Structure 1
Amino acid sequence: MQISDVEVFATIAESGSLSAAARRLGVSPMTVSRRLAALEDELEVRLVHRTTRSVSLTPEGEVFLPFSKTLLAASEAAKVTLKANVGTASGTLKVTAPTVFAQAVIMPMIAPLLKEHPALQVDLLASDSIVDIVSLGIDVAIRIAPLRDSELVARSLAPNPRVLCASPGYLTEHGAPIALDELHGHRCIALHGMPHWPFVRDGEPIGFKAVGAFSANSVEAVRTASKQGLGLAMLTYWDIRDDVEQGTLRVVELEDATPQQLFITAVLPTRRQVPHRVRVFLDRLEAALGNPT
């Protein structure tokens, strides 16, 4: 049932004629007649007796009139309420992000965000799996892996280059490789979803098979293993930023190859009517990524 059709019926009842209702609504009499007919067709009853000069409500129209006024009042109340919240973030913001990124980057944002927007709630799903954000009703997904072809809306937030890293203890004991081929002589910690480490050498992509005594299915496990000296790992800048600053991990740079570049991307289910809470969150996140220190 279209609110505009209900509004036409209520205006006709108040005005007493189709032409008067048309003038009040600023539309043509033909439009008024068409909308009234559409409402009657949907309700499967005749609401108005029409004559050449005036109209009167049928018994069914008399019954429907108070319901129409209630519907219009509820619609207006909803508009007023939503407009009042235009400048503030409210409701439940459902976010999903990779586990390490969620802990290192998103969690420090939550307390200030909730303090600034007291009507906001945050539901965070930290997972290294790619989840179906539409079926789960998620407002925004933060993704670091290359995006698959999708009808979802993507917004690039910041670069997040892959980096080769290891603990200071491992590098002291085994030395730091300086060329891609030297990786064959090192223990490498593989992430299940990325058994081949992606590099670029001489402008061409090249993959290196990571082989070592330990592999894992989560970024957090790989990061922890590399800090424990179990081998070299390929992670991303934002995964290890704090570890590098604290000295528990060191970045290893090769002379003949560089790891593949990645970006932190926000994925939305649609670009239409994006809630204000999503825009507030993404603006805050983008600012945090642009000022890593």
Structure 2
Amino acid sequence: MDWRDLHVLAVLHREGSLAGAARALGVNHATVSRRIAALEESIGHKLVRRLARSTPLTDKGREIAEVALDMEHQAHRIERLVHAAQGTLTGRVRLTAPPVLVSEIIIPALHDLRAAHPGLQIVLSANSHLASLDSGEADLAVRMVEPQGRQNIVRRIGSVTFALYASPEVAGLPPHQWRFIAFDETLAHVPQQRWLEEFAGDRPLDLLTGDFHSQRAAAEAGLGVALLPCVMAERDRNLVRVVQEQPEARPVWLVIHTDLKNAPAVRAVADLLIGAIW
């Protein structure tokens, strides 16, 4: 048995589809299918049902995949323990954070850390997706949603305020003529979106995007009024704040896996984040 094939089965089970497994593993569909076929041949059992539109696991496939997921979890724990045992500020630290915090706060704050510790490699993922620390997707995470999970160290490290901004031309229009730039359906649930919908009332939300950077660009272009993070918009000379009303600030949380809480490199990055965001 090739243990790497078990990992492919575990990822297929977790992702739920060949396409999802291929994306997670960074390979193509054919490679996933070939690995699963090799595993089936080596253990003498059918593990997936190859249907026209899906590849669900068989009962035996699910049973083996659950064991493989546990093996994957333990392998990630070994990686974390080795990482934590390193006594110097070298090696790799994987950090994930919302894109707006990465571009506006974290990247500008990294210069001094990199200068002081040139042997430290930071893998920085600007992603709204809540990366799993348990599965090894990140060592630290900055989130604007309160984290859950008993295996993590969680600390509130600050907050993000929002306000309404527009180009000077749009800001000069009567408020009843304003049109609004908002999130699309992927982020329709976030608190500031609900506040914006209530503020707009009968006025149209007619340009919808999935990220703050697109919303800022649209506001700069005179396409409407956008609810933006103040840390992003206040420094933008092409935008002006249009009203004093604003939603409640969103808290920012730092999450560290408990196995890495004493790793010097992880601790250094955590201290940087606390100082930059607080």
Q: Same fold (TM over 0.5)?
A: yes
Identity of aligned residues (%): 24
Q: Report the CA distance between 1:169 and its aligned residue.
A: 2.4
d(CA) in 2 for partners of 1:171 and 1:114? 41
Match of 2:226 in 1: 233
d(CA) in 2 for partners of 1:252 and 1:225? 15
d(CA) in 2 for partners of 1:272 and 1:135? 14
d(CA) in 1 for partners of 2:101 and 2:108? 11
Does residue 191 (structure 1) correspond to residue 222 (structure 2)? The answer is no
- Aligned partner of 2:104: which letter? A
Q: Report the CA distance between 1:286 and its aligned residue.
A: 2.5
Match of 1:22 in 2: none
Pairing 1:3-152 to 2, within 5 Å after superposition: 85=87, 88-144=88-144, 146-147=145-146, 149-151=148-150, 152=152
d(CA) in 1 for partners of 2:261 and 2:154? 15
* Paired residue secondary structure (1:259): coil
Does residue 251 (structure 1) correspond to residue 247 (structure 2)? The answer is no
Choose which of 255, 263, 286 in structure 1 pairs with 2:274: 286
Q: How many residues are matched?
A: 190
Moved over 4 A (4+): 206-210
Q: Report the CA distance between 1:207 and its aligned residue.
A: 7.0
d(CA) in 2 for partners of 1:211 and 1:148? 34
Question: CA 1:261/1:101 → structure 2, altered by over 3 Å: closer, same or farther?
Answer: same
Q: Deviation per CA, 1:170-225: give whole Å up to 9, x if none.
A: 112x24x4xxxx5xx4211111203673449xxxxx67668433111122111211
Q: Report the CA distance between 1:262 and its aligned residue.
A: 1.0
Q: Which runs of 5+ in 2 are unaligned?
A: 1-81
Taking only aligned residues, the RMSD between alpha carbons, in angstroms, comes to: 3.1
Do the aligned partners of 2:163 and 2:247 also contact (CA within 8 Å) in 1?
Answer: yes
* Paired residue secondary structure (1:118): coil
Do the aligned partners of 2:85 and 2:263 also contact (CA within 8 Å) in 1?
Answer: no
Q: Report the CA distance between 1:272 and its aligned residue.
A: 6.2
Do the aligned partners of 1:128 and 1:219 also contact (CA within 8 Å) in 2?
Answer: no
Do the aligned partners of 2:96 and 2:138 also contact (CA within 8 Å) in 1?
Answer: yes
Q: Report the CA distance between 1:148 and its aligned residue.
A: 5.5
Do the aligned partners of 1:98 and 1:128 also contact (CA within 8 Å) in 2?
Answer: yes
Q: Report the CA distance between 1:230 and its aligned residue.
A: 0.9
d(CA) in 1 for partners of 2:274 and 2:89? 17
Do the aligned partners of 2:170 and 2:178 also contact (CA within 8 Å) in 1?
Answer: no
- Aligned partner of 1:96: which letter? T
Choose which of 203, 207, 211 in structure 2 pairs with 1:214: 207
d(CA) in 2 for partners of 1:269 and 1:279? 11
Q: Report the CA distance between 1:120 and its aligned residue.
A: 0.9
- Higher Cα radius of gyration: 1
- Aligned partner of 2:255: which letter? V
Do the aligned partners of 2:131 and 2:138 also contact (CA within 8 Å) in 1?
Answer: no
d(CA) in 2 for partners of 1:240 and 1:278? 30
Match of 1:267 in 2: 255
Question: CA 1:136/1:250 → structure 2, altered by over 3 Å: closer, same or farther?
Answer: farther
d(CA) in 2 for partners of 1:197 and 1:273? 34
